[in-house]
Amino acid sequence: MERFIARQPIFDWEKNIFGYQLLFRNSLDNYFSGCNLDEASSEVIANSFLLFSIEEMTDDSRAFLKATHHTIKSGYISALPPQAVVIEIMQPLVPDPELVIACGHLKAAGYTLALDDFIFDDNIESLLNYIDIVKFDTTSTSLEDCQDISDELHPRGIKLLATKVESYEAFHQLQNSGVDYFQGYFFSKPTVLSRKDIPANTMKYVQILQQVNAPEIDYEKLADTIQGEMSVAYKLLKLINSAAFGLPKPVHSIKQALALLGGKELRKWVSLISMTGMASDKPNQLVINSLARGKSCELLAPHVGMVSRAPDLFLMGLFSMLDGIIDRSLNDVLNDIPFEEDLKDALLGKPGHPRKVLDLVLAQEMGLWRVLGYIADSLRLKENTLQEIYIEALKWAEETFKA
């Protein structure tokens, strides 16, 4: 039986990765709705270490895994390494003495415990003695309530984790309200809605993106621009001389490197190098997510009848987080960069075949299994194909970023 996985990053106050929420399913249409939650919880724990590499899925940080009361009391958790996981105690939360004792044992063994969907309740007082983190939904918790939770729990050494953080504005407000960790897609949106000036060093990368994505590439002009930005020139030469290209002799000229790449592959690789340069002051995960999205879209191309446009789909996925990298809206950014019209439409949310591919990748990334199943059916994609692509894209993104 196939197993499916998605992961969502959890950031600390300084925007560093603290861990990943891991979500598992048996199939694309199994939403764990109305089924046995104890069984589902046990499968999540088993799949985390038996079917998938937990280190690969979490970049050697911590995995946040949901667990029911029965799963905790049964002792299944003790099979996991304490330093690698955060155990989320699921709702409904009506603690009994047996659950409290089990949590005490886990805490003594070095496990980090979290309460999911936290709400103040006198009934959980006995359990709070063993809790390290409480998670709360920002869509149902006001900033005032958030501050109250912080004032109550921080003196007890309990950290706060806000979920469904969807914008930088919300991120900053929650920072000021005492939140320690953040889960959501706020890094894929611009800091402000107003147009921001682009820093001079970033503008060089934008100029390269403009030139390399022009309908007709002026190789002479592009080579001159790249030579004026040493980081891009260095990485481009390092790329073309890597084992992946297997050239018989080293390449020392930017013009020669551009000529050897040629066309769509040139757009792909130079755009990738420029994007990573622009994101040098951003969280690593923002770049890795961009790379993984691009690679996923590229790998999907032959399965959705777009094999000749695989490099274009790579750029679509790569650019899907460009707003968070430049801190401007995608609409503004794409006005500055010549880009295929249907891909530009896809990035701006307009329907079409490319947008369907991007939606598929986003649904996989976020664990939106019903949406994923619906789109996959419409594209006649097999479930195991999607999973293989997702894992391969994540691995490629990590290796490429490290390189």
In terms of pLDDT, which residue wins out, 52 or 384?
384
Domains of the chain: 4-188 (3.20.20.450), 200-402 (1.10.3210.10)
Question: Nearest-CA neighbor of 178 among 199, 195, 155?
Answer: 155
Tens of pLDDT along 215-224? 788 888 888 8
Tens of pLDDT along 156-208? 999 999 998 877 778 888 988 889 999 886 655 443 333 343 444 566 777 78
Question: Nearest-CA neighbor of 1 among 54, 32, 43?
Answer: 43
Q: What is the pLDDT of residue 201?
A: 57
User: Does residue 114 carry a pLDDT above 80?
Assistant: yes
User: Taking residues 239-259, what's their average pLDDT?
Assistant: 82
Tens of pLDDT along 5-34? 778 888 888 888 898 888 766 555 544 444
Q: Is this structure's pTM higher than 0.85?
A: no
- Rounded CA separation 46/77 (Å): 10
- Rounded CA separation 26/222 (Å): 48
Tens of pLDDT along 42-101? 555 555 554 566 666 777 788 898 888 888 888 777 777 888 889 998 876 666 788 889
Give 254-284 as a DSSP string: HHHHHHHH-HHHHHHHHHHHHHHHHTTTS-H
Are the C-beta atoms of residues 272 and 294 closer than 8 Å to each other?
A: yes
